[in-house]
Amino acid sequence: MTDRPDHDLLCTPPPTTGPPTSDLAEILERVLDKGIVIAGDIKIDLLDIELLTIRLRLFVASVDTARKAGIDWWETDPALSSRARRDALAEENERLRERLDAFESGELTAAAPAGGDGA
């Protein structure tokens, strides 16, 4: 008989134990929209509340929901997304091109007046 589930963290070596909100997140994801739906007399849209107040911060919505809600965590976290990887590379390329342009359009001569003619 336990008041709350125990967390078995054996062998998981996070540098710090998880923030207390993770426990709340686990409870919320279970109490908000689970269970046989029997209509109560007071109509309250829990999904509304969830979306407004916590899903945006505590949860990563399903990927589709996240996209609809404008959350791009999944796509911009370079750790998880190949698209983000491409974006990051594109940005990198863009910056390099700008630097190359700058070099080729005279700054190179200014910076290196003594450069010899090749060949």
Partner 1 sequence: MTTPPPVLTYAFAVCRPYDGPAPTGLTGLDPGSPVRTLPTGPLTAIVQDVPAADHTEEALRRRLSDRTELERCARAHHEVITAVSSLTATVPLPLATLYRGDERVREALCAKEASFLTALDRLAGRTEWGVKVYAPTGPPAVRETPAVDSGRAYLDRVRNRHQGREQRQNAALQAAERVDAVVRGLAVATRRLRPHGPEATGPQRTHILNAAYLLDTTRTRELRAALTSLRRDEPAIQIELSGPWAPYSFTDTGAAP
Q: Is 76 one of the binding residues for partner 1 (CB under 8 A)?
A: no
Give least dist CB 76 to partner 1, A.
12
Q: Is 69 one of the binding residues for partner 1 (CB under 8 A)?
A: no
Site for partner 1 in 13-32 (CB under 8 A): 13-16, 18-19, 21-22, 24-32
Q: Is the dihedral of CA 32, 36, 39, 41 positive or negative?
A: negative
Residue located via tokens 């407004």:
52
Site for partner 1 in 36-65 (CB under 8 A): 36-44, 46, 48-49, 52-55, 57-62
**Cα–Cα separations (whole angstroms), residue 37 to 33, 65, 76, 93:** 9, 22, 36, 53
- Residues 95 and 76: their CA atoms lie apart, in Å, by 19
Contact 50, 32 (CB under 8 A): yes
Q: Is 92 one of the binding residues for partner 1 (CB under 8 A)?
A: yes
Q: Is 101 one of the binding residues for partner 1 (CB under 8 A)?
A: no
Nearer to partner 1 by Cβ, of 1 and 119: the residue is: 1
- Interacting residues of 73 by C-beta distance below 8 A, sequence separation 6+: 60, 66
**Binding-site ranges for partner 1 (CB under 8 A):** 1-16, 18-19, 21-22, 24-44, 46, 48-49, 52-55, 57-62, 73, 77-80, 82, 85, 88-89, 92, 96, 100
